[in-house]
Structure 1
């Protein structure tokens, strides 16, 4: 009787073990990346011809910074400040193609301001009492001949007063991460309006997303009711691929120039934005503005030349491995390659995002996504299985250790 009881116990135990082994959860497959997680665009890093003095920076929005030069210290920026003025006006009062926007009637106070600007040698727009200027015309006066009085008229139009408008300028600078920027006026004539080349690229990037702004700064001249023909002070416009955007000069700021190009790289037009600040005359006939323009053109040439498309992987490349404890395995391959924009030396990162959990895989099934990041640029490519992983065999289910999680 005792022997029979032991036998029944053993059989029961074996039944329990088999039941536990059979019903235990099958572990998900393990995945691993089959390429370097981080690398860089091949080739020699570009030698950027930075200006000898002042500060400068060069960036490709959506990709990253090509570099910067000089101390990132807040300095006067003169009329480059009008980039923020234009941004706020167009943000608060958008203009689409063909729209001129609301009109502003010039007052006696506006005329008095103009006369003061003339007397103090400022850049300004001739106006007359009763003259009506549209929002677009005032923006043209702001951005082409760089009229300081146009900046103040627009500030009052937008916020009711220049004080309220300057507060909005500073709040927006904080929003955009322009930590080294402080606006004291809407025009930049006040030397207390300070910033850095890096910060001015940040606001320029925002401006260049607005088609109205882009269209205005691309013009070489405009005709206004009282002032007549007004020319763009950006004399580099149209040279070395430059499509805008804003110059500035005062005794305190020296020569300043924020510029943009749109080179065709691999069939797509890529925006490049640069800035030079604090340029000083280098010959009796080469004033600070011309020095800034020349420095900007030189940087624009170098930036455009350095850009290229690169392919971190090609179609059919094996990028991942899949395996399971019962000995089966498969590969992860991409169906198409990746082409990104960058420059030699730019770091890029790769990671595999598997679809989890997976316990079986059929050949051709999507098993995850390969994410390639070059600077701020990201490409996502589906990864498909090459090979099949089936369910675990019976003997593996029964023989796996009871003391593991698998």
Structure 2
């Protein structure tokens, strides 16, 4: 060893300097994904609840429905009136437009005597219509027809005097047929219209068939032949149609008339001009006995109604007695008929007619605005009809909607408006949501 000394080797280590602490380190990727999923789930739940709430509002509501609370017919309350009919014969009485009030004696075809002339006049006036007051065409009495007069008179027929070459209008000829019941003028008119009496009788039967007179058969235009038969029911059908012809209605309500050759003639129907009677035709033979078809106009509660009836087969030794009997029966029955006719309230104001049912318990009631009356008699059936248009979704209380109509027979209908009893409104949003839940 040379005795020298080496200096020791010093090793330095790096000491980090003091620096600020770094920020929080970022979250690990796995945690960030979890938070995102949780947020999306929460949003889905919120949105899902909203969609659940809105869903029922997207569906359309059903429209209101109507439930009718009225029957299709009503009957006038009370006991059906009994008319004072006689013990023998047959008869019917009806009120035009309302129907038959009463009848008796069945419906067997019987001789009807000069009531036949109603059909004779009806056929003439349908073939040769006359306006009110119009005389119509002129016909001429032939020598043969005039020559038959003495023999007809000898048989005791009901006639008017005629002469060969006599000119007479259709109206005058009908006056002779319908007032003094001239058999000869009925035959003269028939031959003028159809060329022969037989051809005219065919027209009479065709007209009866067309009118639905199923129990009627004509063999002559005057009714002298007892084989001409009908029923009270059938003759009321015919009389109602005949009275709708202006010229017919004018003639049968006359008490007298003036015609060529015969001069003034009188109406055999002594009821005309009394108690509203405006016609129509008498009849009397040994086979038919006393017969009458009649019409009367009566006023009930300010309304004019036409009563049409027929009474056949009233006994008596001769024509005057037979006619007196049928007149007496008709007076009594007509008085009872007039008494039976009266106004009746069938529907009161404020009556429930229909229930309107809207969705989710909404709705209202349709009620009559006014009362409804009908003229008739107890036991008469009356047709009821409600006219209900489509119901809107919203109507205020008291809104007029539709109407109710009642009608007796074919008479004039009476009507009233229907009004809502309360507001009809659609259900609220909250009602719809609650209903859905």
Equivalent-residue separation in structure 2 for 1:121 and 1:99 (angstroms): 32
Output one character per residue of 1:149-201: Cα deviation in whole Å (capped at 9) or x when no partner: 22122222333332232222222222222111111221111222111101111
Output one character per residue of 1:365-406: Cα deviation in whole Å (capped at 9) or x when no partner: 3322212132333333332223221234446666778xxxxx
Is the partner of 1:122 in helix, strand or coil? coil
Equivalent-residue separation in structure 2 for 1:394 and 1:174 (angstroms): 68
Equivalent-residue separation in structure 1 for 2:306 and 2:192 (angstroms): 31
- The Cα shift of 1:339 comes to 2.6
- CA gap of 1:193–1:286, structure 2 versus 1, over 3 A, is closer
Equivalent-residue separation in structure 2 for 1:361 and 1:162 (angstroms): 70
Question: What RMSD, in angstroms, separates the aligned Cα atoms of the two structures?
Answer: 3.2
Output one character per residue of 1:88-143: Cα deviation in whole Å (capped at 9) or x when no partner: 22222222223111110111122134333213221112100111100110010010
- The Cα shift of 1:345 comes to 2.6
Equivalent-residue separation in structure 1 for 2:391 and 2:93 (angstroms): 44
- The Cα shift of 1:47 comes to 2.3
Partner residue of 1:266 out of 293, 297, 301: 301
Where structure 2 has 5 or more consecutive residues not aligned to the other structure, the ranges are 1-39
Map 1:1-400; keep pairs closer than 5 Å.
22-24=58-60, 26-33=62-69, 38-281=73-316, 287-356=321-390, 358-377=392-411, 378-394=413-429
- CA gap of 1:75–1:25, structure 2 versus 1, over 3 A, is farther
Output one character per residue of 1:322-350: Cα deviation in whole Å (capped at 9) or x when no partner: 22242122222333332321012323343
Q: TM-score, normalised by structure 1?
A: 0.87
- The Cα shift of 1:277 comes to 1.0
Equivalent-residue separation in structure 2 for 1:393 and 1:78 (angstroms): 79
- CA gap of 1:329–1:147, structure 2 versus 1, over 3 A, is same
Output one character per residue of 1:293-340: Cα deviation in whole Å (capped at 9) or x when no partner: 221222111111211112212444443332224212222233333232
Q: TM-score, normalised by structure 2?
A: 0.82
Equivalent-residue separation in structure 2 for 1:396 and 1:111 (angstroms): 95
Equivalent-residue separation in structure 1 for 2:184 and 2:407 (angstroms): 45
- CA gap of 1:224–1:76, structure 2 versus 1, over 3 A, is same
Is the partner of 1:182 in helix, strand or coil? coil
Equivalent-residue separation in structure 1 for 2:208 and 2:220 (angstroms): 13
Where structure 1 has 5 or more consecutive residues not aligned to the other structure, the ranges are 402-406
- CA gap of 1:398–1:76, structure 2 versus 1, over 3 A, is farther
How many aligned residue pairs are there?
Answer: 399
- CA gap of 1:285–1:152, structure 2 versus 1, over 3 A, is closer
- CA gap of 1:390–1:294, structure 2 versus 1, over 3 A, is same
- The Cα shift of 1:24 comes to 4.5
Equivalent-residue separation in structure 2 for 1:110 and 1:272 (angstroms): 38
Is the partner of 1:270 in helix, strand or coil? strand
